[in-house]
Amino acid sequence: MAGEDIRQLFVCTRLWKIIMHYAKPLAKLVGEFEKLPGIGPKSAQRLAFHILRISEDEAKALADAVLNVKLYIKLCPVCYNYTDQDCCEICSDAKRDRSLVCVVSEPRDVVAMEKTNEFRGLFHVLGGVISPMDGVGPDMLKIRELLARVGDGEITEVLLATNPTIEGDTTAMYIARTLKERGFEGRISRIAHGMPVGSDMDYADQATLIQALQWRRDI
């Protein structure tokens, strides 16, 4: 038997012995938790034992929540944020400024912007950023949909709020360039970059300070 086969057999036997220590339904739950990101065998075990301790109603609520997310959450056909309605709450809110669209890479960025209570425009979620080295191109994002939205004529400003990383900046540059090529005459803005609030100049790195200088404004 080759060394690799012996190692595989050893791993399988060891895993089997661990599984044998649990009752079958518990072993299944531990296995399912282990599939989640950032959850290792120990954490999976702890979560599974926690489920055993909670009441049946609580366990059912958790199971329903997991299932409902899969059954009812879909993408808003306008902004591509997650919603359980035909059109998300933000897009269907009549009080929102429909001339301003904030372009973000992920749905969680919408939550971050909404928490500020400062932004009153609409959103557009790209579903990622252009990452040439990972083979993620513009066609894999909701850029075509953004162009169609902007083409309707109601939008007068596109705020590009992708992360200040090389991929986020490339995505913003690509969208800005494409909008200009398509004859968009409104304002195309980029979210400001620079020093985080409450930080220390002395500890800022060169890249951050350069950004802070480039994005400086009059007071």
Partner 1 sequence: MGGRGSRRATSLIYKPNMKTYTAGSIVLRRIDLGEKDRIITILTREQGKLGAVAKGARRPGSKLAGASEPFTYGKLFLSAGRDLDVLSQAEIKESFPNVKQDMRAVAYGMYMLELTNQFTEERNPNPELFDTLLSAMYILESGTDAEITARYFELQFLDLLGYDPHFETCIRCGRKPKQGRLGFSPSLGGIVCDSCGITPSDVIWAPDAIISYINALRRAEPQKLKDMKFPRGVRRDLANILKWHIRYRLEHDLKSADFIDLIAMFE
Interface pick for partner 1 out of 14, 46, 74, 177 (rule CB under 8 A): 177
SS3 207: helix
If one asks whether residue 201 binds partner 1 (CB under 8 A), the answer comes out as: no
146 vs 138: CA distance, rounded Å: 11
If one asks whether residue 208 binds partner 1 (CB under 8 A), the answer comes out as: yes
| Pairing between β-strand 74-75 and β-strand 82-83 as defined by DSSP bridges | antiparallel
189 vs 107: CA distance, rounded Å: 20
Q: Kindly identify the residues of this chain, within the stretch 61-120, that bind partner 1 according to CB under 8 A.
A: none
Q: Is the dihedral of CA 193, 199, 204, 210 positive or negative?
A: positive
Interface pick for partner 1 out of 86, 108, 207, 216 (rule CB under 8 A): 207
Contact segment (CB under 8 A) with partner 1 among 44-52, 68-76, 78-86, 209-217 equals 209-217
Q: Is the dihedral of CA 112, 115, 116, 120 positive or negative?
A: positive
Place of tokens 């060891």: 14
CB of 97 to partner 1, least distance (A): 27
Q: Is-contact 104 125, C-beta < 8 A?
A: yes
If one asks whether residue 170 binds partner 1 (CB under 8 A), the answer comes out as: yes
SS3 91: helix
Q: Kindly identify the residues of this chain, within the stretch 4-43, that bind partner 1 according to CB under 8 A.
A: 38
Q: Count Cβ atoms below 10 Å from residue 30 Cβ, excluding itself.
A: 22
Contact segment (CB under 8 A) with partner 1 among 6-14, 23-31, 153-161, 201-209 equals 201-209
Contact letters for partner 1, residues 134-163 (x by CB under 8 A): xx-xx-------------------------
Give the interface with partner 1 as residue ranges (CB under 8 A).
Answer: 38, 130, 132-135, 137-138, 165-166, 169-170, 173-174, 177, 181, 196, 198-199, 203, 205-208, 210-211, 214
